[in-house]
Amino acid sequence: MQSVDFTTLIAARAELRDRWIPARIEQIYQRDRYTIALSLRTLQKRDWLNISWHPQAARICIGDPPPRVPDTFTFSDQLRHQLNGLALTNIATIAPWERVLDLQFAKRPGEEVFWHLYVEIMGKYSNVILTDAKNQVVTCARQISGKQSSLRTIQTGKPYDPPPILTESIPRPDESFQRWQERVSLVPGILRKQLLGNYRGLSPVLVKLMIQTAQIDPEQSTETLQESDWKNLFQSWQTWLQALEGEDFQACWIDGGYSVLNWGDFPQEKNVQTLLNRYYTDRLNEQTFKQLRHQFVQKLGNLLGKLRQKARIFETRLQQSDEADEYRQKADLLMAYLQEWEPGMKSIVLEDFATGEPVTLTLNPEKNAVQNAQALYKKHQKLKRARTAVEPLLQEVREEIDYLEQVEATAIQVETYRNPEDLQALEEIREELIAQGYLEPGKSQNRTYDRDSQPYRYQTPSGFELWIGRNNRQNDKLTFRTAGEYDLWFHTQEIAGSHVLLRLEPGTVPDEEDLQFAADFAAYYSRGRNSDAVPVVYARPKYVYKPKGAKPGMAIYKQETVIWARSRRAEEYLNKAT
């Protein structure tokens, strides 16, 4: 994940200072353990300033409004107590070439500054620190004790100390070409590394773009550069410094990341705030999505493995109980031929009542015939009782397997993150598994959205809408709340998968092509996705029922019609659409 470098921070500060100074603080909300949001209001507009000290995604930018869920963090509570109702009057830098911004707060613009909020954007060392007018630390996102760092401590009640001064040289617009070239090439090495190691304010992305703009390979050695290469590179260097000095930035997307200097024909973004918010929201969502999906696949795989093993044990016991009548018949046979028994016999061969065939019975030589028969009768009764006890247990395990397979089918449908709806659907699955007792609630795991996620929506060949549930919450909503009288409900037959709804207006009749389209998508969004052909049922929603006490997403149906589907056709459709 790309980090906010000095150039990006200055670009973000320039926009914020031009558009949001002064602004009144109306609300403060902590979105998660790494991000606070300040509601800013000017005479013309209102929006949220997001400040993050995330070790991989530290940033400051105007972003999305926070969700309408309770804020339980103490850091934001302390900030609210001090800053609510005050005016943000300035955003300054604390020193040249330092990635630290000083947000200053006063009662009104032009009046004495009461509070400083220092935003340190420094990768894994990022922090947000509130101090009073005398620079005494009042609260901070991360307290740093002497045991954690011998260079710099950050603790409440102590004076605020800026980060240690960097040792690299400061880039200067008035530095001569010869002096700059000497500094970079003094010790021969890879050009990219030489620039990064000799000057402050540079980042890997910025250096790579700078060198590529000069049409040089970033991995090239300084010893192999021609004079013309050095001059072209110095021109790029000067362009960067001039952009910083004149605050002339252009937000754009580059391969795998972003830049605030458009050195090439790159897609542009309307401003730096939108660029940063979109990039880091997407990257963090993608990161969380991968973690959740891995967690679900691993957890559900373990649970299903244990349940299937338990089901096999119960099935074995039931098979053994099927032999109960055989033990009774053997006992009856032995009792009928008591006269054939002799002391010390280990087995006896008797004639079957019905078939007349010889039957060999194994005997305990220490017991007489009656005692051996009683042992067989006891075995018969024990196996009969086992069937009575095991059958409901096996049914319960099978229902639990069906449910978890249904959850697993929805969790593995989307392999990669594409939009926030994908993450939200997974978070709803997490909520469901927590509610069902399969997962433990995490610390500070607040809901990050205000409304339920929405189902997939596609259009059939005749123009009808096809709605597909992303998780069990959506499946239940589609089937038992959304579905209308004229709609058609689709689901893979005896295979876990999403509920699919073909939306139909009164009087409309879908073509065979529409039915096949819906069936193909039902197969695609199921555990049968990789099969060549999958049986899919469809019925009117009034014939679909939820069993009493059933878990989310479970349903039974009647008066259904079976149609064979191929998930490959749905996959081909989706590939063409993208």
pTM: 0.81
DSSP string, 262-331: --SSPPB-S-HHHHHHHHHHHHHHHHHHHHHHHHHHHHHHHHHHHHHHHHHHHHHHHHHHTTHHHHHHHH
Q: Which residues pair with 154 in a beta bridge?
A: 144
Whole-number Å distance between alpha carbons of 272 and 294: 33
Give the tokens for residue 401: 């397997």
pLDDT for position 439: 86
| pLDDT, tens digit (0-9, with 9 covering 90-100), for 252-263 | 999 889 999 988
In this prediction, residue 445 carries a pLDDT of: 54
- Cβ pair 126, 54 in contact under 8 A: yes
What value, to the nearest 5°, has the Cα angle with vertex 390 and ends 403 and 318? 105
Domain covering 6-140 in this structure, CATH number: 2.30.310.10
> pLDDT digit string (tens) for 507-554?
899 999 999 999 999 999 999 998 989 999 999 999 999 988 888 999
Binned average pLDDT, 10 residues per bin, the chain of 578 residues: 95 96 95 94 94 96 90 93 95 92 95 95 94 94 86 90 87 93 91 91 93 92 92 94 94 93 90 96 92 89 93 86 77 86 88 84 90 87 80 90 90 83 88 88 60 88 94 93 94 94 92 95 93 94 91 92 94 85
Q: Give the pLDDT confidence score for residue 444 in this predicted structure.
A: 46
> CB within 8 A of 379, min separation 6: which ones?
324, 327
- Decide if 433 contacts 343 (C-beta within 8 A): no
Find out whether 252 and 258 touch, Cβ atoms under 8 Å.
Answer: yes
Ramachandran angles phi, psi of 300, nearest 5°: -65, -35
DSSP string, 143-158: -B-TTT-SS--B-TTS
3-state SS class at 118: strand
Tell me if residue 574 falls in helix, strand or coil.
helix
- List the structure tokens of 196: 């990064």
- Cβ atoms of residues 469 and 498 within 8 Å: yes
Contact 473, 406 (CB under 8 A): no
369-393 burial, b if ≥16 CB within 10 A, otherwise e?
beebbebbbebbeebeebeeebeee
CA-closest candidate to residue 437, choices 402, 400, 471: 400
Phi/psi zone of residue 215: left (φ > 0), alpha (ψ -120 to 50 degrees), beta? left
Structure token pair of residue 174: 């008035």
List CB contacts of 21: < 8 A, sequence separation 6 or more.
Answer: 88, 89, 90, 91
Enter the tokens of residue 286: 């993608």
Question: What does the pLDDT look like over 55-90, one tens digit per residue?
Answer: 999 999 999 999 888 888 999 999 999 999 999 999
Query: Domain residue spans in the chain?
Result: 6-140, 177-270, 301-446, 456-577
